[in-house]
């Protein structure tokens, strides 16, 4: 087995077009991106696949990203997986301050450019020892 293992990213996002866009951008960089259309599905996917990184939308119906984040961090088997929060620019500042307090690895505001996404992902995964 060669040492260029594919990095797996789970993208939890309720907009299918956003998942497709993220897959398009990151697949080109050699990442494997698995999409989940909501919080519950996303949590199951994270537990099942143990990705290298989670991209998490905050605004989702049913179970919001905040709840998903707290559950990922509460479980022994998933708590060390880095999480990048993807949030709408209009989101209130309290949420963003909350992210700092909660030690979120990074966050990106929508709409974002492809390079912004790549930079954030590579920054986080570059810090992680393989």
**How many helices and strands, by DSSP H and E, does the chain display?**
5, 5
Judged against a pLDDT cut of 80, whether residue 2 lies above it is answered with no
Q: Tell me which architecture the domain covering 8-125 has in CATH.
A: 3-Layer(aba) Sandwich (3.40)
Prediction pTM value: 0.87
- Per-residue model confidence as pLDDT tens digits over 73-107: 999 999 999 999 888 765 555 666 666 666 788 88
* Choice between 4 and 7, residue whose per-residue pLDDT is larger: 7
Residue 12: strand pairing partners: 36, 56
Residue ranges per structural domain of the chain: 8-125
Please state, rounded to an integer, the average pLDDT across all residues of the chain: 87
Judged against a pLDDT cut of 60, whether residue 68 lies above it is answered with yes
DSSP string, 36-82: ESSHHHHHHHHHHH--SEEEEES--SSS-HHHHHHHHHHSTTTTTS-
Rounded CA-CA distance 13/36 in Å is 6
Q: What percent of the chain has pLDDT over 90?
A: 63
């Amino acid at each position: 087995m060669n040492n260029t293992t594919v990095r797996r990213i789970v993208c939890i996002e309720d907009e299918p077009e956003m998942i497709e866009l993220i897959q398009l951008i990151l697949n080109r960089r050699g990442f494997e991106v698995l999409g989940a259309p909501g919080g519950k599905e996303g949590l199951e996917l994270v537990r099942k696949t143990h990705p290298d990184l989670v991209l998490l939308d905050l605004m989702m119906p049913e179970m919001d990203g905040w709840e998903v984040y707290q559950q990922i961090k509460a479980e022994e088997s998933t708590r060390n997986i880095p999480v990048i929060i993807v949030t709408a620019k209009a989101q209130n500042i309290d949420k963003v301050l909350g992210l700092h307090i909660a030690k979120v690895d990074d966050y990106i505001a929508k709409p974002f450019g492809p390079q912004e996404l790549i930079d954030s992902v590579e920054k986080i995964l570059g810090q992680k020892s393989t």
